[in-house]
């Protein structure tokens, strides 16, 4: 299948899905997210593939939602959230092992994509940020519950309400990142890891993933539904639109 926003490559027992490699910071749109999910699902159905690597480029894993799309949908945000909800639920249900190869910026929905992967191998340049509150909206979809569970309420609130960035070293120390490697070794280390895991029987890989993530997956989908409903309430409130007008009428 031909894609506009992702590049795919099969390497036998593992495959690579590269998020929009030609764009500098990988701004996420519905169409791009749909292609990411479609590509990952295609490899999930491929009996020859055991592990899927998801990567961006050296500048950015994913820089979060494209503000042009957000601005164009400002009067129809519930439909936008519903589309993303369905796509993230599908992504969350992938059975094969997902490895995120992350460098540079991972912002907003970019963090959510990254944390929906099972292993995160990061470059020292990785920087995480959650700026959605500055736009008057709740961050992510199931991201709030995921972060609170992994890094605790205090750090999660600090990142979400104060916009505090988190660099790779801290992300590893709190369990958001599996390991850190130098940028020049990132692709090699990720593929070496994928190849090592792919030596195992597929049934074993899937069973271990399901044992570890089954409860988290259910909690994540519950968190998505709760967050989407809260996003609907915010989008309908006069305060939200008044806040946007203070920002310049578009939320930028």
Q: Which helix (H) or strand (E) is 157 found in, with range?
A: helix 153-162
pLDDT digits (tens, 9 = 90+) for 175-186: 999 999 999 999
What domains sit in the chain, N to C, each tagged with a CATH number? 6-198 (3.90.226.10)
Over residues 25-39, the pLDDT tens digits come to 889 999 999 999 999
112 as an active site residue: the answer is yes
Find the catalytic residue in 112, 172, 185, 189. 112
Beta pairing class for 51-55 and 97-102:
parallel
Query: What's the whole-model pTM score?
Result: 0.93
Identify the pLDDT of residue 124: 97
Whether residue 205 contacts residue 50, with contact meaning beta carbons closer than 8 Å, is answered with: yes
Interatomic CA distance for residues 161 and 231, integer angstroms:
16
Residue of 132, 185, 229, 242 marked active site: 132
What are the tokens at 23? 């764009």
Confirm whether 148 is a catalytic residue: no
| pLDDT on residue 151 | 93
């Amino acid at each position: 299948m031909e894609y506009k926003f992702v590049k795919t490559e099969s390497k036998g027992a593992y495959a690579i899905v590269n998020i929009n490699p030609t764009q500098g910071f990988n701004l996420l749109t519905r169409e791009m997210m749909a292609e990411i999910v479609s590509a990952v699902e295609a490899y999930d159905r491929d009996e020859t593939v055991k592990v899927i690597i998801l990567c961006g480029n050296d500048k950015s894993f994913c820089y979060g939602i494209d503000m042009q799309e957000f601005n164009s949908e400002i009067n129809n945000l519930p439909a936008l959230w519903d589309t993303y909800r369905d796509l993230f639920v599908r992504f969350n249900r992938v059975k094969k092992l997902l490895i995120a190869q992350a460098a540079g910026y991972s912002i907003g929905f970019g963090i959510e994509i990254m944390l929906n992967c099972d292993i995160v191998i990061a470059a020292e340049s990785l920087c995480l940020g959650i700026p959605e509150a500055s736009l008057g909206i709740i961050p992510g979809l199931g991201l709030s519950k995921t972060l609170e569970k992994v890094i605790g309420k205090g750090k999660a609130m600090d990142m979400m309400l104060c916009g505090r960035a988190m660099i790779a070293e801290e992300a590893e120390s709190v369990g958001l990142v599996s390991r850190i490697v130098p940028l020049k070794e990132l692709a090699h280390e990720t593929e070496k890891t994928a190849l090592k895991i792919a030596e195992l029987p597929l049934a074993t890989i899937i069973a271990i993933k399901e044992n570890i993530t089954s409860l988290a997956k259910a909690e994540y989908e519950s968190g998505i539904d709760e967050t989407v409903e809260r996003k609907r309430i915010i989008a309908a409130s006069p305060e939200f639109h008044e806040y946007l007008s203070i920002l310049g009428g578009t939320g930028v």
